[in-house]
Amino acid sequence: MKRLNKNKLKQIALERINILFQEAKSNPSKANRYVEIARKIGMKVNIPIPKEYKRRYCKHCNNYFQSGNYRVRTRNKMVVYYCLNCKKYMKFKINF
Ligand SMILES: [Zn+2]
């Protein structure tokens, strides 16, 4: 019973994270706040942010990547995101 509740909780949390990222996309001015909330929800119930959203924000400062506030480069089979807000880098492996 306990496990069932926990799974349900995670499912709800994931739904909320999805909604928050959709909102972030359509509300650029509030996007960073939505990212912050989504990450907090994920941490609370111990679920990772879905892969498709992980590259949409800066993990250092929760800056939601929109045109003009980040740069993308590929280097040595890595995608490097440079956040213009906090001037930090994030690296991801290119996976095809
Ligand atoms: Zn940043």
Whole-model pTM: value is 0.88
For ligand 1, an ion, list residues with CB under 5 A: 58, 60-61, 63, 83, 85-86
CB 92 within 8 A of CB 79: yes
Domains assigned to the chain: 2-93 (1.20.5.420)
**Does an H or E element contain 64, and which?**
none
pLDDT digits (tens, 9 = 90+) for 4-27: 688 999 999 999 999 999 999 999
Rounded to an integer, the average pLDDT of 72-88 is 96
For residue 53, the CA-to-ligand 1 centroid distance in Å is 15
How many angstroms separate the alpha carbon of residue 65 from the centre of ligand 1? 9
pLDDT, residue 1, reads 54
